[in-house]
Amino acid sequence: MAFIAGGTEVGGSSVPPRNILINGAMTIAQRGTTSTSSGYKTVDRFRNSLSSGGAWTQSQSTDSPAGFANSYKNECTTAETDMENMSYALVYQKIEGQLLQHLDFGTASPKKITLSFWVKSSLTGTHVCQLHAPYIETTEYNSHAYTVNVANTWEYKTITWTGDTGDVIPNDNSSSLRVYWFLGVGNGYGSGTLTNDLWHTTTANRAAGQVNLAGTVGNTFYLTGTQLEIGEAASPFEHRGYGDELAKCQRYYYLVASGNGVGGSDTVGLGTYYVSDQIYGAFFTKQTMRVQPTLEVVTGSSYYKLYSNGQTDMFSGLLTQQAGTNCFFWYSAGMSGTAGHAGWIRTMSTESKVALQAEL
């Protein structure tokens, strides 16, 4: 139920979630739980990014502080002891502008925002978090150092930033604010001087002082309980239900089916032979996706099977007929059936996978 305090509605369904970040407790991992590749590969909405910053394995870990079940782990597997000029290794989440309108950035009275998180790092010393606001031309970055006091031990950190008065955040679905946790940087990003809570455009100041976690194989960086909220103080982590958190993630990534479903197979959906050698089907997305999604499909001989008219038809993958944000039409050619016959499709390999991606 909503109520009014000082003329401001402070409760009820119209109030934005306290935590602006999605999947802050790292509980959702639709893509998988471990990967040696960079990018969006494990926990939803979070990714790592590397540029000559060594090689890393990222995973959804069960190593976590009290009150949490999971964390986002990045472990260095190939060291980069001498980070080149513009090298970096970092993890981050991007946020849509339309989820940030209540921050009042670009006005005379922007809201202060506070980031809180649990971190466990192999290295003690200075680490750097940063807000990156690519929509602001004059003051794009705001960095803040934090100190890891004890190696390989969970520590709770909070950082408060002053809102930016420069430009209004675009009220759209583009990437307007990014929250970075640096793992290591070269001189191009670290040779300057870091001033906490200062909006600037000096690249060399972005992560000055950051320890180099990429310097030794086996170094680890764990992160969980991440929360970005309005105000000058961190509040307790907003634990959302698994279904609620999954629904938020599905705006950006929707796992339709994978080979690891019930009984070693999973249901892809229904389809119909439009002509004798083509079948068409639709995925009704769980959420309106951020943009027209990319179809992500693992292909292989006989990875998918269609059951129709008492017969089966094996096929290797799917293609896009029409990529809608609420309904995605797919097709597959090279089939052998009867136009007008319907059927259902299953995955047939442990490797099979069909998903829609609309990440920032």
Positions touching other proteins (CB under 8 A) are: 173-174, 274, 278, 280, 291-300, 317-323, 331, 333, 351, 353, 357-360
By beta-carbon proximity to other proteins, the closer residue of 199 and 283 is: 283
CB of 210 to other proteins, least distance (A): 26
By beta-carbon proximity to other proteins, the closer residue of 107 and 292 is: 292
Q: State how far the Cα of 147 lies from the Cα of 110, in Å rounded to an integer.
A: 27
By beta-carbon proximity to other proteins, the closer residue of 309 and 357 is: 357
Q: What angle do CA 82, 88, 92 make, to 5 degrees?
A: 150
Q: State how far the Cα of 180 lies from the Cα of 159, in Å rounded to an integer.
A: 12
- Transcribe 45-97 into DSSP letters: T-EEEEESS-EEEEEEES---TT-S-EEEEEEEE--SS--TT-EEEEEEEEEG
What's the length of the chain? 360
By beta-carbon proximity to other proteins, the closer residue of 92 and 204 is: 92
| Two tokens, residue 72 | 């986002």
Q: State how far the Cα of 323 lies from the Cα of 254, in Å rounded to an integer.
A: 13
By beta-carbon proximity to other proteins, the closer residue of 235 and 322 is: 322
| Two tokens, residue 75 | 């472990």
CB of 2 to other proteins, least distance (A): 33
Comparing CA positions, the residue from 24, 22, 58, 54 lying closest to residue 38 is 58
Instruction: Judge whether 300 and 352 are in contact, CB under 8 Å.
Output: yes
Q: State how far the Cα of 96 lies from the Cα of 132, in Å rounded to an integer.
A: 13
CB of 216 to other proteins, least distance (A): 24
By beta-carbon proximity to other proteins, the closer residue of 137 and 351 is: 351
CB of 35 to other proteins, least distance (A): 11
CB of 213 to other proteins, least distance (A): 23
Phi-psi region of 42 (alpha: psi -120 to 50; beta: other; left: phi over 0): alpha
| Two tokens, residue 127 | 């680490």
Instruction: List helix spans (H) across the chain.
Output: 187-190, 242-249
By beta-carbon proximity to other proteins, the closer residue of 242 and 329 is: 329
Of the chain, the end-to-end C-alpha distance in Å amounts to: 33
By beta-carbon proximity to other proteins, the closer residue of 73 and 353 is: 353
CB of 319 to other proteins, least distance (A): 6
Q: State how far the Cα of 31 lies from the Cα of 256, in Å rounded to an integer.
A: 11
* Residue 313, helix vs strand vs coil: strand
CB of 301 to other proteins, least distance (A): 10
By beta-carbon proximity to other proteins, the closer residue of 100 and 113 is: 100
Which residues on neighbouring strands pair with residue 181, listed in sequence order? Answer: 91, 129
